[in-house]
Amino acid sequence: MRVLAESYYGGGEFNECTRTISRIKAGDIESWYKEWRVTGERIERIALREEASGHQQTARKAYFRASNYYRVAEFFLPHTDEKKIPTYRNSVECFKSAAKLSTAIEIVDVPYGDNTMPGYFFHPAKPVEKPPVLIFTGGADSTAEEISFLGAQEALDRGIACIIVDGPGRGGMLRLKNVKAIHDFEKPVVAIVDYLAGRGDVDCTRIGLLGLSMGGYYMARAAAFEKRVKACVVLFGPYNAYTDIYEYYPPLRPQMWWIVGASSEEEVKRKLGEFTLSGVVDKIECPLLVVHGEDDFITNPNAAKRIYNEATCEKELKFYQSGEPGSIHCGYDNHTEVFSFIHDWIYDKIGR
């Protein structure tokens, strides 16, 4: 469902996905990995062939799909599996190949202390002098490459630039640099805002934040302490990562151990317990949009109501009822409406 939803924004194609799914043995992680990798390799070959033929548009689209298929292939592999990192690298390289065939995407490395955060800067669909900019991040198991297929195009279509990087505990920072997740996520966001200010080609008086799943916590935390931010969206995010994700959805527990570098239940409880918005939400001063759905079985829906109730800034809660399209985690069952709504709200706050 996740990859099919992302297909709407170029991260796949319905028939390629359904043919792949039809070959997978139910409940077999190795079969899942094998068949998605086979599809990724096939689409990458198409991209290489079409690029060599001078068909850049076709090649770019194929590279994007191949990138996401490789990401899906490694998704369920434990981080100790020797196939995980090489397959992740395949995903990144395909995405970078697509980016190089686009005049609207820059490959960037954002300075962060003694390190850098890898990612991408997306220019608006129509050139604008110093456009507003959206900082977009995902959660516990997403990558910068995947996030681009989660509605980023909606910002670009509205004249808003977008920057997506892998911060601590995510994507390349976690997989290639072993930089674990941190609760005080305002630190990487401050680094991103400083980077944007240094570019000189965006309007740093109009910066928005959008975070989905655990990224919702990250962006709410950042909005509370980085006052240069003018709007924030929490999309299916937790109030407390330990109670609202770790305890609420046990299948994600190995991933949560990995991203915080825990080696015991006591340690993961202590570390994740710091990922809380208690005493933080009421420090947010910019407009806040909280989006969640009653059928979310990964992040506790009650978290959204708690975030909304404790916020003292200008705020709005969009809560999809059970059975209503958009009510499952991250609105994967209704991306066309969910992301249009979110980006219209963002446009109203920083785009006009």
Residues in contact with 303: Cβ distance below 8 Å, sequence separation at least 6, in sequence order: 237, 238, 239, 240, 244, 292
Closest CA to 220 of 245, 240, 203, 204: 240
The yes-or-no verdict on residue 99 having pLDDT over 90 is yes
Q: Write down the pLDDT at residue 70.
A: 98
Residue 327's CB is within 10 A of a number of other CB atoms, namely 20
Q: Is the pLDDT of residue 136 over 90?
A: yes
Model confidence pLDDT, tens digit, residues 212-250: 999 999 999 999 999 999 999 999 999 999 999 999 999
Q: Which amino acid, residue 18?
A: T
Q: Is the pLDDT of residue 111 over 90?
A: yes
Asked if 226 and 261 count as a contact pair (C-beta separation under 8 A), the reply is: no
- Stretch 159-170: mean pLDDT: 98
Question: Under CATH, which architecture does the 1-102 domain have?
Answer: Up-down Bundle (1.20)
Confidence of residue 127 (pLDDT cuts 50, 70, 90): confident
What percent of the chain shows pLDDT beyond 70?
Answer: 100
Mean pLDDT on 8-28:
97
- Please state, for a pLDDT cut of 90, what percent of the chain lies above it: 99
Residue-level pLDDT at 101: 98
210 contacts 135 by C-beta, under 8 angstroms? yes
Tell me what pLDDT residue 184 has. Answer: 98
Q: CATH for 105-351?
A: 3.40.50.1820
The average pLDDT across 94-99 equals 98
Q: How confident is the model at residue 128 (pLDDT cuts 50, 70, 90)?
A: confident
Three-state DSSP string of 248-301? CCHHHHHHHHHHHCCCCHHHHHHHHCCCECCCCHHHCCCCEEEEEECCCCCCCC
CB 134 within 8 A of CB 158: no
Confidence class for position 338, pLDDT limits 50, 70, 90: very high
Given this model, what pLDDT does residue 49 score? 98
pTM assigned to the model: 0.98
Contact (Cβ atoms closer than 8 angstroms) between residue 256 and residue 200: no
pLDDT of residue 299: 98
What pLDDT digit, counting tens, does each position of 56-70 carry?
999 999 999 999 999
Per DSSP, the residues of 2-46 read HHHHHHTTTS--HHHHHHHHHHSPTT-HHHHHHHHHHHHHHHHHH
Domains of the chain, residue spans: 1-102, 105-351
- Report the alpha-carbon distance of residue 286 to residue 21 in Å, rounded: 43
Q: What is the DSSP letter of 329?
A: G
Output the six-digit token pair for 295.
């059928």
